Structure 1
Amino acid sequence: MQTYLVAVGLMTMGLVLVALCVAAWFQGVEPLWSVILFGLLGVYMVFLGVDEGWLSGLEVTPSHLRIQSFGRWEEYPLTRIEAVDGLRDILGGGIQLVLLAAEGQAIRVPLRRYANAGPLAQALLDALWLQNKELVLMPRLARRLGQPPFGVFAAKKSGR
């Protein structure tokens, strides 16, 4: 529910900004390029709200991670991931995982949209751990979630 509120808020702010820019255009506000620039920012905010609420997705399998943004899916093999960190997401305040790949690529995985963000993060960490037993979890993420395996994709460690 919180995700949809953020999405509708972004869309509303974008529409208000576009309306103000159109009104400024007809009133002859100078410089004209500033009106156009802020109008384009408003259009971008509307698209960002639509993406945030309805066009984003996430799939975790034992071998791949698929992230949908603006209706387009990107697939990442989990074998390339060497380290994982967790950040606070500025939109909605949820957690965002940052996967660090071998070639220096950082893949951001926002989990704020999902009511099951904790189990989803654990599933992703289990899948990463299955692909790389030497996976490095940054200390703040390890304190928050613990160490894999969690029992989602991999069997839990005994003695826990």
Structure 2
Amino acid sequence: MDVIDRKILHELQANAKISMKELAQKVYLSSPSTIERVRRLEENGIIKGYKTIVDAEKLNRNITAFVLFETTKCKDLAAFCSVHPDVMECYRVAGKISYIAKVCTESVHTLEEFIDKAMEFGTPSTNIVLSSYTNMELKLSQDTSSG
């Protein structure tokens, strides 16, 4: 992977719907060369897919929380989280905490309901998100500026 591939990834992360023509202009390649590079990134599994980012607040899910679980019932908790509509992501991790669930829900009351139901599978500790940002785009842009 070279600097151009990193630039392509950066642009696709910023806007996965960008046309190949526009992407080619941004990375200073021809459209066929850009299409070939994107295809290779996909085939090599570097680009695993494209997804829609939904604004949870516009769906009236104003509370985001990370619920950390100490549990020995990992499979049961995973099964519970996989079907719960408020769980957006779930991670099995090493250490004192076994699972982390990212929950987007309507209110503290619905968060409390989730926690009450999940207590059957382990001991939860809840962290409510006040604000957030992602630095993946920043990381890739720093990589491309140094090359």
TM bracket, shorter-chain basis: 0.3 to 0.5
TM-score between the two structures when normalised by the length of structure 2:
0.34
Q: Kindly indicate whether structure 1 or structure 2 has the higher relative contact order, using CA contacts under 8 Å at least 6 residues apart.
A: 2
- Larger strand proportion of the pair: 1
TM-score between the two structures when normalised by the length of structure 1:
0.32
